[in-house]
């Protein structure tokens, strides 16, 4: 059984730390690990007017970047899946587990 783990966060350092935790957990359970594979960073830019009436040409831009990693685990046991679901990760990190046959 294979397990795909996708990690997302706005902070790149949090993504790297979460990936390290998952890799260490998988190696402790004797699973084969490939990754973490960096996926493309999603950059979202929002432009807002600074002043509505007077300075219409004056604008401000904000951006948010979503960093992603993919880890593929082979030879996965049910205990490893349970531990991965209960793994404590920092706030702001989203983890998605997908079983692949």
Question: What's the Rg (C-alpha) of the chain?
Answer: 19
Closest by CA to 65, choosing from 5, 7, 12, 6, is 12
Ranked by mean pLDDT, which of 8-17, 47-56, 78-87 comes out on top? 8-17
Q: How many residues does the chain have?
A: 101
The pTM score is 0.78
Note the pLDDT of residue 80: 83
């Amino acid at each position: 059984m294979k397990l795909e783990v996708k990690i997302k966060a706005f902070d790149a350092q949090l993504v790297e730390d979460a990936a390290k935790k998952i890799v260490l957990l998988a190696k402790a359970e004797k699973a084969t690990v490939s990754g973490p594979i960096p996926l493309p960073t999603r950059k979202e830019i929002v432009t807002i007017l600074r002043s509505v009436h007077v300075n219409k040409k004056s604008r401000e831009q904000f951006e948010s970047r979503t960093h992603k990693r993919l880890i593929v685990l082979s030879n996965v046991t049910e205990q490893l899946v349970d531990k991965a679901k209960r793994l404590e990760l920092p706030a702001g990190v989203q983890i998605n587990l997908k079983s692949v046959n």
